[in-house]
Amino acid sequence: MKPTLWHILGAGSLGALWATRLARAGLPVRLILRDAARLDAYQGKGGLTLSEQGQRQTFAIAAQTADASEPIQRLLVACKAYDAQRAVASIASRLSHGAEILLLQNGLGSQDAVAATVPQARCIFVSSTEGAFRDEDFSVVFAGQGLNFLGDAQQGAAPDWLGELLAAGIDHQWTTAIHERLWRKLALNCAINPLTVLHACRNGGLQAYAGEVSALCEELIQVLQCCGQPRAAEGLQGQVNQVILATAANYSSMYQDVAQGRRTEISFLLGYICESAVRHACHAPQLNRTRVQLIEHLKAKGLPSD
């Protein structure tokens, strides 16, 4: 039987990382780009380039825009959280009966927004610890090995195509606790990333602000418990400290976004946590103060604060 075509919506860092590895394994892949101008730019490049362990390889993966008519059975959404819903809406009419959509977005909130936009599709949430960045347009550097946890809101059975990820060398694990994974990653992110922006430091620099980190962790634990995610709260403080030490020399993704003048995913990280706390009548003054400070910081830099 012919393998199902992988449509990849967004050819940035993670989209390119997935597309090139799938194509390298001989699987059929189609990119969906933002508009005709981006399609022209892509065609001018002659394909997507993957740099891995010093080796560069270009793959001439076919591309199209959202208004193409080809039906979509399996879609990987690789946009930022703030673009995901609009991007999926643009291809919604092309989804086949029983379509599956993999959502790679960080944080929480965008996945539910997408699922509400396309209730006919099976949404699979992905929590990725892989790291990649664009060194130039349509060229990605695989910077950090990691694992992709996949699961759905219904705690359903694993799909039968996980073998394709194995063949493509995409490390993955199916989980029935994907929400717990996403909440835990969200909490780690909220404990570290905003403070690295506000104190203009690498992750390791937060050792000098241990009191602030610890106060945020205490509140995060309470909010996770109020939100019905007690398992995501277990040992949070210890893991935050471990991450700070293990990644001491790194700049957080939010720090890098701000430093490079890019929009952050604040609404789907700290914003989501603070709004969840309100919904569950959970007092979270430290998190709210940090959110306000971060919004002011972004505004002062002329960056979007949502």
Dist CA 116 CA 113 (whole Å) = 5
Which residue is catalytic, options 2, 185, 299, 301?
185
Active site residue 185: yes
How many residues are recorded in the chain? Answer: 306
For residue 211, the minimal CB distance to ligand NAP (Å) is 28
What part of residues 140-169 is at the interface with ligand NAP (CB under 6 A)?
none
What part of residues 94-123 is at the interface with ligand NAP (CB under 6 A)?
104-106
E-strand ranges in the chain read 6-9, 29-33, 48-52, 55-59, 62-65, 72-77, 95-103, 122-128, 131-136, 139-144, 148-152, 172-174
Residue 153 half-sphere exposure toward CB, CA atoms < 13 A:
14
Stretch that binds ligand NAP, among 12-20, 21-29, 68-76, 161-169 (CB under 6 A): 12-20
CB proximity list for 98: less than 8 A, separation 6 or greater: 73, 122
Residue 1 · residue 35 · CB < 8 Å: no
Taking CB under 6 A as the criterion, the residue among 78, 108, 197, 266 binding ligand NAP is: 78
Q: Is 139 in the site for ligand NAP (CB under 6 A)?
A: no
Q: Is 33 in the site for ligand NAP (CB under 6 A)?
A: yes
Dist CA 148 CA 165 (whole Å) = 10
Beta bridge partners of 140: 50, 134
For residue 80, the minimal CB distance to ligand NAP (Å) is 5
For residue 284, the minimal CB distance to ligand NAP (Å) is 23
CB proximity list for 156: less than 8 A, separation 6 or greater: 122
Q: Which is nearer to ligand NAP, 38 or 122 (CB)?
A: 38
Q: Which is nearer to ligand NAP, 206 or 266 (CB)?
A: 266
First-to-last alpha carbon distance for the chain, in angstroms, is 45
For 74, the token pair is: 């399996």
Taking CB under 6 A as the criterion, the residue among 6, 7, 9, 124 binding ligand NAP is: 9
Q: Is 223 in the site for ligand NAP (CB under 6 A)?
A: no
Dist CA 216 CA 201 (whole Å) = 17
Q: Is 47 in the site for ligand NAP (CB under 6 A)?
A: no
Q: Is 14 in the site for ligand NAP (CB under 6 A)?
A: yes
Taking CB under 6 A as the criterion, the residue among 11, 102, 114, 213 binding ligand NAP is: 11
What part of residues 228-287 is at the interface with ligand NAP (CB under 6 A)?
265
Q: Is 39 in the site for ligand NAP (CB under 6 A)?
A: no
Residue 295 · residue 305 · CB < 8 Å: yes
How far does CA 97 lie from the centroid of its chain?
26
Q: Is 30 in the site for ligand NAP (CB under 6 A)?
A: no
Compute how many residues bind ligand NAP; rule: CB under 6 A.
Answer: 28
Q: Is 132 in the site for ligand NAP (CB under 6 A)?
A: yes
Give me the residues that bind ligand NAP (CB under 6 A), please: 9-15, 32-34, 38, 78-81, 83, 86-87, 90, 104-106, 128, 130-132, 134, 265
